[in-house]
Structure 1
Amino acid sequence: MKTKDANDLLERYRAGNCTEEELRLLRNWFDTLGEEEKAEFSAAELNSISTEMWSAVQPRRKQSGKLRRISYVSAAAVVALLIVSVFAVRLFMKQQPEVPKVAITEQLTDTAFAAAPGSQQATLTLADGSIISLTDAKNGAIAEQSGVSISKTADGELVYTITANAAAQNNAWNTIATPRGGQYKVLLPDGSVVWLNAESSLRYPPVFAGSERKVILTGEAYFDVSAHKTMPFVVSTSKQQLTVLGTQFNINAYPETDNTITTLLTGSVRVALADSTGTATLKPGQQSSVNSTIKVVTTDPNDAIAWKSGYLLLENETFEVIMKRIARRYDLDIIYQTKPAALQLGGRISMNRPLEEVLQALELGTHLHLRVSGKQLIVSE
């Protein structure tokens, strides 16, 4: 579709004269905009079209009570993502009376957006109970135990290095924990690498010995496990136990979620229920969901690890779940002054962007008012 055709359709839609077929063409054009098509437009033209779509397109109601898709959110957000580096939000909602939108910038003080995206923050608890703030610790060696040197690199990575006479000790565990708004990377003594997401913890021995390399996870982490044919790597959570020899995978096991989600990128893993009543073996590109049973589906594994690059991938997520994930990333408490409608959101959110931009896009998509006061994110109509 050429620039003139797109502008003509926008004008017709703004005037309320767009046919269903023309509306479908306009929406599909935005949703499928590729590099070649982008080349036909200047940045100013695309930015203008994006702005017009936000302001001109209004949701069309259907008489059905089923979930309906409001494509104008998708259309404008895709263009915004490509041209002005905002993010995509796809909105699905049950039919409801339209709620007036309130611009978030009109409600907040200059200091309201003090909350920053996640950063390298964590604490390390050693086997003797001593606690080290990795956020404040200087680079270099920070501790030594059981013949293992523990250091912090300039990149903010925690590294375990086996020195002479390293020996395992019974019930000797270290725990690294990230707060809300924090993430951290750990190089374990066997060479395995773990990336911890916000509000997560990992317990592990400073020296792996015996028949397995066992760690205990709460929250979410991405693992790149070094191969060891005679000593499998075992990740235990409240709902499952995962056994691998050497592979890359992501586990989401936050306590408030109903299911523990494991996504496999490479290799092979065996997922077992915590009570050992059921097992499943995953192949690359598969994802298991564990509660009282194990369900396995095929997925794009890169979606599960988008958080490592600062993105929040949404796949028909409820508004409350999204708020929890944003609160975890920006270290906020959610206060509901109104019960959100039955919303399901999908798309990609850059969590490295200022909180103001994240909340503005969610307001546009949900017709809710999102206001920050101190450490609280207040949701109202």
Structure 2
Amino acid sequence: MGIEKEIHELIIAYLRGDISTEEQVVLREWLARDRRHGELLEELKSKDVLRRDAVIYASFDTAGRWKRLRQEMNKVPRKKSRVLLRWVAVAAVFAVAVLTGVFYWQAYDSPGVEVAESVRILPGSSHAVLITESGKQVSLLGMKDTTLVFAGNERVELSEGGRLKYHQTTVSTIPEWHTLKIPRGGEFQITLDDGTEVWLNSDTELRYPSHFVGTERRVQLTGEAYFKVAPNEEAPFIVDTRGMDVKVLGTSFNLSVYPDEKVCHATLEKGRIQVNDKENGKRVVLSPGEQAVLSGEMLEVRTVNTRLYSSWIKGRFSFASEDLEGVMRTLSRWYNVEYVFSNVSMKDKRFTGTIPKYTEITQALKMIEMTSDVQFKIRGTTIIIQ
């Protein structure tokens, strides 16, 4: 039988230790299908294998090996499975190691990112500034297990995990509008008063009412957010952004509308959403696994791997043939750094892989260096790409 593309990603999450409960169920089902699957996973869990073979596998055509692996597993008899298993490990280890960042850098010498100064550039963390309608600003950095009181005696809780949570209230029929601003190098989670959960990425701003009233639930977004919308057929949920708005009843989707990106996109995981092009009046309705892309005056729908666009809420950045400039924009927001291309031809270099979010930037850059001919230098908080 063949190996599904998603299984590669589940193996990655398992080896990194951040696999979700739902993902564990899918992985267990795959392991139960064939004894060789379990043997392969045990092989990949071996640190010695990763250390010993990492350099050798660096020259592999990984995509080609996986394609050949699918063909071989469909036709090779079981008596040859152990020989095949070793070939599987050889084809897989480098792919998994590159994608997860589980190389053990201390175990062998490898060319690394040149750092001019001993400055550690750490990953982002939970951080937000809450701005009330009156202009009052409250930094939520480090705040946990706290209750905030606003105008009209409305109360908002910060959980032990630091998530901001609003509660349904009938205190006032006229809600106060709040803005949650996530700085570069930050991320945050919020639960709106209708139960809708929102994950906010770096350099993002969400404007919303302290409680919803009327026949719609409307919020405004700049940047990137993942929404898990609470169902309410009586009041559709609408995300208003530059260029387009997204209308939903109850669903899970990712929305990216950064001002410095050439395109905006809405990616649907569950449910159904309607995406409206404000400029040209075009509307499209998405089904799970589809993405609406707005580029200039063009609104189109394409089928995508949704995991690539929501992995950031699960502790990793995923890229599929992303140009290096796009990768650097993502990393610069998260690590709050600047970047410059001393070799402009590198802007169009393509990178495919998964980078753990909560690691120092040098490790993230090393992973990119291992899979291409690009080199990085760090000068203070500026990354030079050459």
TM-score range, shorter chain: 0.7 to 0.9
Is residue 299 of structure 1 aligned with residue 304 of structure 2? yes
Gap change, CA 1:34 and 1:353, over 3 Å in 2: farther
2:128 aligns to what? 122
2:380 aligns to what? 374
SS at match of 1:231: coil
Deviations 1:351-374 (A, max 9, x none): 222222111122233323312222
The within-5 A match list for 1:278-293 is 278-291=282-295, 292-293=297-298
- The one of the two structures with greater contact order (alpha-carbon pairs below 8 A, sep at least 6) is 1
**Which amino acid counterpart does residue 378 of structure 2 have in structure 1?**
V
SS at match of 2:49: helix
2:195 aligns to what? 191
Equivalent-residue separation in structure 2 for 1:182 and 1:210 (angstroms)? 33
Equivalent-residue separation in structure 1 for 2:144 and 2:268 (angstroms)? 35
1:267 aligns to what? 271
Deviations 1:26-53 (A, max 9, x none): xxxxxxx964335458542342111333
CA contact (8 A) 1:46 1:83 kept: no
Q: CA deviation at 1:191?
A: 1.1
2:148 aligns to what? 142
Equivalent-residue separation in structure 1 for 2:228 and 2:95 (angstroms)? 32
Is residue 239 of structure 1 aligned with residue 280 of structure 2? no
Equivalent-residue separation in structure 2 for 1:216 and 1:83 (angstroms)? 34
Equivalent-residue separation in structure 2 for 1:269 and 1:288 (angstroms)? 10
CA contact (8 A) 1:77 1:86 kept: no
Equivalent-residue separation in structure 2 for 1:306 and 1:194 (angstroms)? 14
Q: CA deviation at 1:77?
A: 3.9
Larger Rg: 1
Gap regions ≥5 residues in structure 1: 1-32, 60-73, 88-101
- Count of aligned residue pairs for this structure pair: 314
2:255 aligns to what? 251
Equivalent-residue separation in structure 1 for 2:222 and 2:318 (angstroms)? 20
Q: CA deviation at 1:237?
A: 0.7
Task: Name the stretch that deviates more: 239-248 or 134-143.
Answer: 134-143
**Which amino acid counterpart does residue 269 of structure 1 have in structure 2?**
I
Deviations 1:310-337 (A, max 9, x none): 2111121111111111111111011222
Gap change, CA 1:359 and 1:38, over 3 Å in 2: same
CA contact (8 A) 1:289 1:295 kept: yes
Is residue 225 of structure 1 aligned with residue 229 of structure 2? yes
1:156 aligns to what? 162
Gap change, CA 1:340 and 1:103, over 3 Å in 2: farther
Counterpart selection for 1:85 from 96, 102, 110: 102
SS at match of 2:371: helix
2:39 aligns to what? 36
Is residue 104 of structure 1 aligned with residue 108 of structure 2? no
1:45 aligns to what? 49
Deviations 1:190-235 (A, max 9, x none): 1111100111110011121222111011111000111111111000
Q: CA deviation at 1:298?
A: 1.7
1:28 aligns to what? none
**Which amino acid counterpart does residue 298 of structure 1 have in structure 2?**
T
Counterpart selection for 2:317 from 312, 317, 322: 312
Equivalent-residue separation in structure 2 for 1:185 and 1:48 (angstroms)? 41
CA RMSD of aligned residues (A): 2.6
Gap change, CA 1:86 and 1:48, over 3 Å in 2: closer
TM-score, normalising length from structure 1? 0.75
Q: CA deviation at 1:276?
A: 5.5
1:180 aligns to what? 184
Deviations 1:109-133 (A, max 9, x none): 4x32x22112101111011100010
Q: CA deviation at 1:106?
A: 5.4
**Which amino acid counterpart does residue 331 of structure 1 have in structure 2?**
N
1:331 aligns to what? 336
Gap change, CA 1:80 and 1:182, over 3 Å in 2: same
SS at match of 1:305: helix
Q: CA deviation at 1:266?
A: 1.3
Equivalent-residue separation in structure 2 for 1:276 and 1:79 (angstroms)? 43
Deviations 1:228-280 (A, max 9, x none): 11111000110111111111111011111122111111111111001361001
The within-5 A match list for 1:339-358 is 339-341=344-346, 342-358=348-364
